[in-house]
Every structure is written in structure tokens, then in C-alpha cells.
Amino acid sequence: MAGRRAGVLVCLWLATVLGAGAAAGEVEDAAARAYLADDLPRARELLEAEIAAGGARPSRYLFLARVHFRLGRWDKAQAVLETLLGRDAENPQARELLGRALFRQGQFKAALPCYEESLRQESRAELRLELAEVLIGLGRRTDALAQLTQVTEDSRTWPRAHYLLGSLRLEGGLGHWAARQLWVAQRLGCPEKDLGLKLAHAFHLEGRDTGPLFLVGPVKAGQAGARTEKEILVRRAELAGEGFWYAAGPDCALYQVEAAMAGAAAAPGGAAADDVLALAARCWLAAGSLERARSHAGRLAGKGREEFLLRAEIALAGGDLPAFAKLLEDWPAVGRPEAERLAPCLVRAALLAQVTGDAAGALAWLERADRLSPGRSDVLRQMVDVLAQLGRRGEAVRKAQLLAELHPDSPEVRLVAGRHGVDLEEVERRGAPVMKDAAPPAPEEKQP
């Protein structure tokens, strides 16, 4: 029944292509029969001969262009459509198909006016979606976002629109909005191979490495990382009984990145790339599984800053300060972006040293962090406490004074500074003229 219905639809389409007044017998011409039999080369030969003989109707040009589309010969389709538009410049079907032929050849600049004119005549979601892809190809991300947003608002059944919209949001660092769109695309069955990995990155950027964990079980022979369509096992729930696990759902980075790695491993010669392994390691680190984080990090082939930073985070999570110190000896050159990410690691190292009673070692880590990224609130706050712990009262007060001057609006800073006797009112009085000089001049009032 489904095959018969599809055949009827093809015949109706052919009747439209061959002309509104075509009789049933006319539809069954040799080219149409070849097309229906999937003998596309034969259909192409017959239509080209008919057009070359002269007097062919516009519908025959359109028919030939669609045959070239089926054959993937976009340049040939373009030539046929340009010939037709030379005879009939206002033919809307020819203009639309020409835009699509140009788009598929990557000729975005030439395709743009075709899509814009077609949309002026008839607003259709599929045209708007392809226009968005043309705009992406031209680097006009903002315009593409506007088109994709309209497609998804008009209809929520276009998975590729959600995929592209989420991808653009992800490129802009908007994890929450990217995750929303990519999640919808996945639920709608979008077939893009990198969708799961993009969704994992979006969830991670959003801070949703595992999401809320829930209890499942009892599970026979369960192990961390085992997945079903509904969950991934994260860690044993020892207090719940034998075979019970805490699990996370598909709407988290951990589930999606593990699924992406499984897909890569199943592909011929497949292996997860370093960025995928690094993301998986960070997700397992967030889930509290140091063992699995180390396992994934150990497979990293790269020796760049990202890999060093991940290994540093794992060393600190395991409380291994000697391993962290060894990593710093081999650390690549650090620029400002890397410094902003390395400084919190140094603060964590200082906290580990302080907890183990090594206040002098903690101070050394904090001084290194302050040299790397001067004036950070988290560095200075801890430094004040460590200096006080070492009995260096005067230095602690001076650091607290500096902390209050650099971060006067932070409640945590005001608490630390006040605890060490800093006159916060004096800090505000001395800072007010500086802030006044730094502020832009107030606009002059217009006289009535």
C-alpha cells in the first residue's frame, strides 16, 4: 500500500512538471517511464535530446534539472536552469532550483539572491532553513540565527534547524541555549553524526556533567559506564544494597560523550579523538570516579596545554601534590587565557598543602598564582589566611587592604578584610575620587 501511494505521488509530481494540462497518456512518455523505473541516465538522454531539438516547454527543463539533482550533477542542473531563466526570467520554480543547485556547490554568494526572492514569493520552512545554511556559509551568523529561530518557532518538526541553531549557540559559548536546541534535535531523530558530541560539549559548558543522579537496580554484573537508552551507571550505591547503582540520564554530558565514544569505537578504524577523551575524563572527574578519569586521560596522545591542564586537575583531585608539581615543571608556555585557568589549580594546590599542615608550601603556591594572574580575589583571600596562620600579621593586613581595594563590592572580601582590621569606610573614601575620575562625564542638561 505504501509503495502504491508513493508511486501515485510521483505520477502527480510528474504531471505537474510536464504541464498543468498534460493528459494521463502524456505523463507516460518515454522520459517519465524511465524516471519512474529509476533509469535516470536514460531519462536524462531523452530530455536532453528533446530540448536540443527545440520547442521544449519550461516544464521539460525543470524535469531535466530534477533528473540532474537525482544524479548529484549540480553543475549540469545549474546550466539547464540558467538556460531556462534566460528564456523565462520570472520562472519561480527555476529560480528556487537554481538557488539549491548553487547552494549544493558551495556557491553561497550566488545562491543568496535566489533564496531571498523565492522567500519573498512564498515563505516555506525548507527554503528558510537552506537560506540559513547559505548565510552560515557566508559567515553571517547573526542573520542565520534569525532565520533558524523563525523556522523553529513556526514548526518544531525540523530537526536540522534545531541542530544548526544549537551548533551556532555552542560556537558562541551559550551552553544552556545550545543544549536546549541540540537536545530537541536529538529527540526528533536528527541523523548528524556529531550531534551527540556537540550535545555533550553543550551540557558540559552548562555545568551539567552528570545532572541529578537516581537509584537503579538491582543490576546483575553492572559496571560504571554501562549504558541503556535511559541511563548510564555512574557509581555503586553501597548503602542501598547489592546490585544497586546511582545512574544519570541521557540529558547530561557524561551519557552523551560515552555514547559518542562508543560510536567512534564501532566505526572502522575508529578511535576517540583527544578532545572527546578529555571531555569524558572531566565528566567522570565531576562524577567522582577518579579511576575512570585517569583511564581516559591516560589515552590522550597530545601534549598541549589542554592535556596538561586535565592531568593537573586529576592529580589535584587525587591529592597528589608531587605529581602536580612535576606537571608544572614540564608545562608549555602559558598565555593569558591559560593563566586564568591554571590559577585556580594553584589555589587548590595551596588548599591541599594548607590542609596537610604545610602553610609555607601553601603560601608558595599562592604567590606563584598571584604572579601568574595578579589581583585575583580567590588567591588574595586565601593568602591573607595563610599569612595569618604563619604569624605574619603585618603582611596579612596589607594583603587584606589590597584585597579590599581591588574587590570592594564583594561580600566575601569585606568579611575577610573586616576580620583583619581593614577600615572599609576609609577604603571607600579613598576609592571614590578614583572611581569618579574613571567614570565618563555626565551628559549636559539641555536648556529649555
Can you list the residues of the chain whose pLDDT is less than 50? 1-28, 432-448
Alpha-carbon dihedral 141, 142, 146, 148, rounded to 10 degrees: 20
Residue 56 covered by a domain: no
Q: State phi, psi for 216 to the nearest 5 degrees.
A: -130, 155
Residue 339 covered by a domain: no
Residue 26: its pLDDT value, please?
A: 46
Residue 123 covered by a domain: no
Closest Cα partner for 319 from 284, 274, 273, 354? 354
Residue 235 covered by a domain: yes
Residue 241 covered by a domain: yes
**Cα within 13 Å of Cα(6), Cβ side:** 4
CA 379/CA 363 separation, integer angstroms: 10
Residue 264: its pLDDT value, please?
A: 78
Residue 274 covered by a domain: yes
Residue 249 covered by a domain: yes
Residue 431: its pLDDT value, please?
A: 55
Residue 317 covered by a domain: no
Burial class of residue 384, CB neighbours in 10 A (0-12, 13-18, 19+): buried
Residue 151: its pLDDT value, please?
A: 92
Residue 31: its pLDDT value, please?
A: 85
Grid coordinates of 175? 551552553
Could you tell me the residue range of the domain that residue 250 belongs to? 208-215+223-301
Residue 176: its pLDDT value, please?
A: 94
Strand (E) or helix (H) holding 362: helix 359-372
Sheet of strand 245-248: strand arrangement: 214-216, 245-248, 232-236
Tally of domains in the chain: 1
Residue 338: its pLDDT value, please?
A: 67
Q: What is the DSSP letter of 212?
A: S
Identity at 185, one-letter amino acid code = A
pTM: 0.79
Cα-Cα end-to-end distance for the chain: 81
Residue 99: its pLDDT value, please?
A: 94
Residue 78: its pLDDT value, please?
A: 93
Grid coordinates of 309? 591542564
Residue 429: its pLDDT value, please?
A: 67
